[in-house]
């Protein structure tokens, strides 16, 4: 050791610098290598998950406008049909009452191949509800049944934008009635005027549990249909429907008190 | 250092015989010495700098994202192997296309500490496995054959085991990392001459999709431009934000919560009172492995959850009935002045520290709001922005990977 120190002392300054530098480099390398070793000294595992795209679904009034514009109020079973000149329409001198009303609504959304449209309604008024597919057009159709809709431009609930969608406020849109949507009631037999009651019915039980003292007209009827969304390449779609409410005047004539019915629409993504 | 002494040995006169005066001589000598020490200092400085570079280099590697190819180096020095168990690997082709180092590993029979034997897979870079839940055939739940995709409300357990190589007790450090991927449309670009105007037009044709890892703004923009998707490139910041929200919304836990039995007219059923205990809010787990487990598969329990609603995380009492769903951890009124941290306190602290990753923060969110989420106004603000973040995740993120790093912990 002493020898080495002596030798070191005997060296020229430049040699000393070289030796010191070499030593420092060696030490530095020694420090670095263990660090790299530490770095590899671990084991890893991983799992990959697929995230489901949010299934945005909206129910709106015609042209995806805010729901407030889908107003089902004001059905008056005692109103008469009018001729084009404003006079009351008569058949064999008997005035003809209005027996139907139509309302347009839309179902739109994204990333949905199929959805289930559900209508739930009470049966106080003994109305018949049917849902038809509808197509939108901006010119008045020459024939067929259609519903007129004056655009309000209210899109606060649904801001989806479609290509070529240039409708502005006060434009009149026409919705042509198409085929009836094939669906069915889950808890109401064909021809029945009220939903199935009784705790043995699963839908009844889910709503009311063990309670049996429920007015039968207030039990909601559930109607469902599975509908293809036919979405475009950008995974968006917008479908229009016409809700047709019809009533039978002779039956309605027996109803003296005004009644209220609740109609709910809901959609869920199926695939 | 003794240059002065050798130049002026004791007992000898200073070179008075020289032509120059002693004062000038001294000055010249002083200057020379100054020069010398300057050079020495310079050399020292350079060496220090080299050392600094080396040490900072090593510092740098310690903290670097662990994604380099060196992973294949055998780590014989670790006193344990890692293992996984289960029927399937989730999204295997996707993960292999993005991280080819992860393999199924070699399978073999191992038993757990309580003696139950099973097939486990081991490797240094392991694809974690899972077993699809067996659905109750008596219920009409969703399609039983399909493994559902992950959405808010999803949860699961990572199948991670440690197999010690010695019988002595040891500690392992497990780090959890969430990596997000987007699936963006790919376009082919071609130039077509318009027949009417006779002008050249650029035409973009959709050609499938590309899975892109969301790392940095620049990298994502580059990746999107590489597949000619200018929309995705221009929205790169939103993808980065969504990846951040995903990291904020996936929570990890170390234990299962409590159940309770509800009895009603249709019989009794067992329901969760709360789902989990021990939130790993730091994403780091220090797990002790007991002695006497050589060659046995010891589970490191890790549960993850993408909580559906904020109320499940943030509410302390639910007196206002704001919560929908089951609490994530036990609900309790927090006490920030005592020494112990309850699970609820840990979660709320996590929400507060990671505000910008949990909420969209379109409106100001304060610590006070998070610690008083039971108040309706606070709850509404927080909840709205939590859900908005979920929507961002869902629309931007296609896949996410939970990456687990296991090291020795001394």
Q: Chain A contacts of B73, Cβ < 8 Å?
A: 40
CB contact under 8 A, A45 and B81: no
Q: Is the dihedral of CA A147, A153, A159, A163 positive or negative?
A: positive
Q: Is B174 on the interface with A (CB under 8 A)?
A: no
The more confident residue out of A7 and B84 is B84
Q: Is A40 on the interface with B (CB under 8 A)?
A: yes
Range with the lowest mean pLDDT among A38-47, A102-111, A166-175, B375-384? A38-47
The C-alpha angle with vertex A45 and arms to B64 and B130, in degrees rounded to 5, equals: 150
The domain spans of chain B are: 18-52, 149-178+248-408
Which residue among B127, B158, B400 places its CB closest to the CB of A51?
B400
Which residue among B64, B73, B158 places its CB closest to the CB of A47?
B158
- Per-residue pLDDT at B1: 46
The more confident residue out of B177 and A30 is B177
- Per-residue pLDDT at B109: 95
Structure tokens at B222: 């580059």
Q: In this structure, how many other beta carbons lie within 10 angstroms of the beta carbon of residue B272?
A: 15
Segment B275-288 shows an average pLDDT of 94
Which residue among B75, B92, B390 places its CB closest to the CB of A43?
B75
Which residue among B75, B102, B394 places its CB closest to the CB of A42?
B75
Given a cut of 90, whether residue A45 has pLDDT beyond it is yes
Range with the lowest mean pLDDT among A116-120, B123-127, B193-197, B277-281? B193-197
pLDDT digits over A234-247, tens only?
Answer: 678 899 999 999 88
**Cα–Cα dist B213/B183, whole Å:** 9
Given a cut of 80, whether residue A270 has pLDDT beyond it is no
**Cα–Cα dist A52/B91, whole Å:** 13
Q: Which helix (H) or strand (E) holds A96?
A: none
Q: Which of residues 335-394 of B touch A (CB under 8 A)?
A: 390-391, 393-394
- Per-residue pLDDT at B112: 92
Which residue among A35, A44, A54 places its CB closest to the CB of B66?
A44
pLDDT digits over B315-366, tens only?
Answer: 999 888 888 889 999 999 998 888 788 999 999 999 999 999 999 988 889 9
Backbone torsions φ then ψ of B388, nearest 5 degrees: -60, -40
Residues in chain A: 271
Q: Which residue of B has its CA nearest to A32?
A: B58
pLDDT digits over B4-42, tens only?
Answer: 444 545 554 555 444 556 677 778 888 888 888 888 888
- Per-residue pLDDT at B200: 86
Range with the lowest mean pLDDT among B99-108, B142-151, B201-210, B323-332? B142-151
Q: Is A52 on the interface with B (CB under 8 A)?
A: yes
- Work out how many CB contacts closer than 8 A connect A with B: 146
Given a cut of 70, whether residue B242 has pLDDT beyond it is yes
Q: Is A143 on the interface with B (CB under 8 A)?
A: no
Tokens 């609504």 map to which residue?
Answer: A105
- Per-residue pLDDT band for A40 (boundaries 50, 70, 90) equals low
Say which residues have a Cβ less than 8 Å from residue A103's Cβ, sequence separation at least 6: A70, A71, A72, A147, A242, A243, A245
End-to-end CA distance of chain B: 46
The more confident residue out of B295 and A257 is B295
Q: B301 vs chain A: nearest CA distance in angstroms?
A: 14
Q: Chain A contacts of B126, Cβ < 8 Å?
A: 43-46
- Per-residue pLDDT at B338: 83
Q: Is A9 on the interface with B (CB under 8 A)?
A: no
Of the candidates B313, B242, B316, the one whose C-alpha atom is nearest the C-alpha of residue B279 is B313
Given a cut of 60, whether residue A26 has pLDDT beyond it is yes
CB contact under 8 A, B70 and A39: yes
**Cα–Cα dist B335/B338, whole Å:** 6
- Per-residue pLDDT at A98: 84
Segment B185-189 shows an average pLDDT of 90
CB contact under 8 A, B403 and A31: no
End-to-end CA distance of chain A: 82
pLDDT digits over A76-93, tens only?
Answer: 777 888 888 888 888 888
Q: Is B395 on the interface with A (CB under 8 A)?
A: yes
- Per-residue pLDDT band for B75 (boundaries 50, 70, 90) equals very low
Given a cut of 60, whether residue B143 has pLDDT beyond it is no
Tokens 């209210």 map to which residue?
Answer: A154
Structure tokens at B240: 């980065």
Q: B368 vs chain A: nearest CA distance in angstroms?
A: 31
Q: Is A92 on the interface with B (CB under 8 A)?
A: no
Q: Is A51 on the interface with B (CB under 8 A)?
A: yes
- Per-residue pLDDT at A105: 93
The helix/strand/coil state of B128 is: coil
CB contact under 8 A, B51 and A53: no
Q: Is B62 on the interface with A (CB under 8 A)?
A: yes
Which residue among A39, A45, A50 places its CB closest to the CB of B149?
A50
Q: Is B48 on the interface with A (CB under 8 A)?
A: no
Tokens 């740098």 map to which residue?
Answer: B60
Q: Which of residues 179-238 of B touch A (CB under 8 A)?
A: 206
Q: Chain B contacts of A28, Cβ < 8 Å?
A: 50-51, 54-55
CB contact under 8 A, B390 and A41: no
Q: Is B126 on the interface with A (CB under 8 A)?
A: yes
Q: B204 vs chain A: nearest CA distance in angstroms?
A: 14
Q: In this structure, how many other beta carbons lie within 10 angstroms of the beta carbon of residue B391?
A: 15
Q: Which helix (H) or strand (E) holds B60?
A: helix B22-63
**Cα–Cα dist B400/B243, whole Å:** 9
Given a cut of 60, whether residue A70 has pLDDT beyond it is yes
Given a cut of 90, whether residue B179 has pLDDT beyond it is yes
Q: A210 vs chain B: nearest CA distance in angstroms?
A: 8
Percent of chain A scoring above 70 in pLDDT = 90
């Amino acid at each position: 050791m002493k020898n080495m120190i002596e030798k070191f002392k005997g060296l020229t300054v430049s040699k000393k610098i070289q030796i010191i530098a070499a030593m420092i480099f060696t030490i530095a390398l020694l420090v670095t290598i263990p660090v790299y070793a530490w770095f590899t000294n671990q084991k890893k595992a991983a799992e990959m998950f697929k995230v489901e795209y949010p299934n945005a679904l909206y129910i709106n009034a015609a042209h995806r406008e805010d729901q407030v514009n889908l107003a089902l109020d004001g059905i008056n079973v005692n109103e008469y049909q009018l001729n084009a000149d404003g006079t009351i329409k008569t058949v064999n001198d008997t005035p003809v009452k209005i027996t139907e009303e139509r309302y347009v609504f839309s179902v739109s959304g994204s990333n949905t191949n199929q959805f289930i449209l559900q209508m739930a309604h009470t049966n106080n008024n003994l109305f018949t509800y049917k849902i038809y597919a509808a197509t939108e057009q901006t010119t008045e159709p020459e024939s067929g049944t259609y519903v007129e809709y004056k655009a309000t431009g209210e899109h606060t609930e649904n801001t989806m934008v479609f290509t070529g969608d240039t409708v502005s406020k006060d434009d009149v849109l026409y919705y042509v009635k198409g085929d009836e949507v094939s669906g069915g009631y889950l808890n109401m037999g064909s021809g029945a005027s009220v939903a199935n009651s009784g705790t043995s019915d699963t839908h009844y039980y889910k709503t009311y549990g063990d309670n049996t003292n429920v007015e039968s007209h207030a039990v909601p009827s559930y109607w469902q249909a599975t509908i293809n969304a036919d979405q475009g390449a950008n995974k968006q779609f917008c479908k229009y429907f016409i809700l047709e409410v019809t009533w039978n005047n002779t039956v309605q004539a027996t109803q003296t008190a005004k009644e209220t019915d609740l109609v709910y629409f809901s959609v869920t993504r199926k695939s | 250092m003794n240059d002065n002494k050798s130049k002026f040995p004791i007992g000898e006169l200073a070179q008075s015989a020289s032509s120059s005066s002693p004062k000038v001589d001294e000055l010249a000598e002083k200057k020379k010495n100054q020069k010398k020490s300057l050079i020495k200092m310079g050399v020292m400085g350079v060496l220090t700098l080299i050392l600094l570079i080396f040490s900072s280099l090593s510092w740098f590697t310690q903290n670097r994202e662990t994604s380099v190819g060196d992973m294949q180096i055998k780590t014989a020095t670790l006193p344990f192997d890692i293992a996984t168990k289960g029927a399937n690997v989730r999204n295997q082709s996707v993960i292999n296309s993005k991280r080819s180092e992860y393999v199924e590993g070699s399978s073999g029979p191992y038993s757990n500490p309580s003696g139950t034997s099973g097939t486990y897979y081991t490797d240094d870079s392991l694809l974690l496995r899972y077993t699809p839940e067996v659905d109750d055939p008596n219920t009409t739940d969703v399609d039983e054959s399909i493994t559902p995709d992950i959405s808010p409300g999803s949860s699961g357990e990572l199948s991670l085991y440690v197999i010690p190589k010695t019988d002595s007790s040891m500690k392992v450090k497990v780090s959890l990392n969430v990596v997000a991927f987007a699936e963006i449309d790919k376009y082919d670009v071609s130039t077509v001459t318009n027949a009417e105007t006779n002008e050249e037009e650029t035409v973009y044709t959709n050609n499938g999709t590309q899975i892109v890892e969301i790392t940095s703004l620049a990298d994502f923009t580059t990746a999107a431009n590489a597949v000619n998707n200018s929309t995705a490139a221009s929205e790169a910041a939103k993808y980065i934000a969504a990846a951040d929200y995903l990291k904020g919304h996936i929570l990890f836990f170390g234990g299962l919560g409590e159940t309770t039995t509800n009895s009603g007219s249709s019989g009794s059923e067992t329901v969760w009172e709360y789902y989990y205990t021990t939130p790993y809010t730091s994403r780091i787990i220090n797990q002790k492995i007991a002695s006497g487990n050589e060659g046995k598969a010891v589970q490191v329990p890790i549960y993850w959850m993408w909580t559906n609603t904020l109320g499940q995380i943030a509410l302390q009492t639910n007196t206002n009935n704001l919560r929908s769903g089951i609490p994530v951890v036990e609900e309790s009124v927090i006490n920030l002045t005592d020494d112990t941290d309850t699970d609820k306190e840990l979660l709320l602290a996590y929400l507060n520290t990671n505000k910008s990753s949990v909420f969209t923060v379109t409106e100001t969110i304060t610590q006070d709001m998070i610690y008083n989420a039971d108040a309706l106004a606070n709850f509404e603000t927080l909840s709205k922005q939590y859900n908005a973040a979920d929507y961002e995740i869902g629309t931007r993120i296609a896949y996410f990977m939970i990456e687990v790093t296991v090291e020795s912990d001394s």
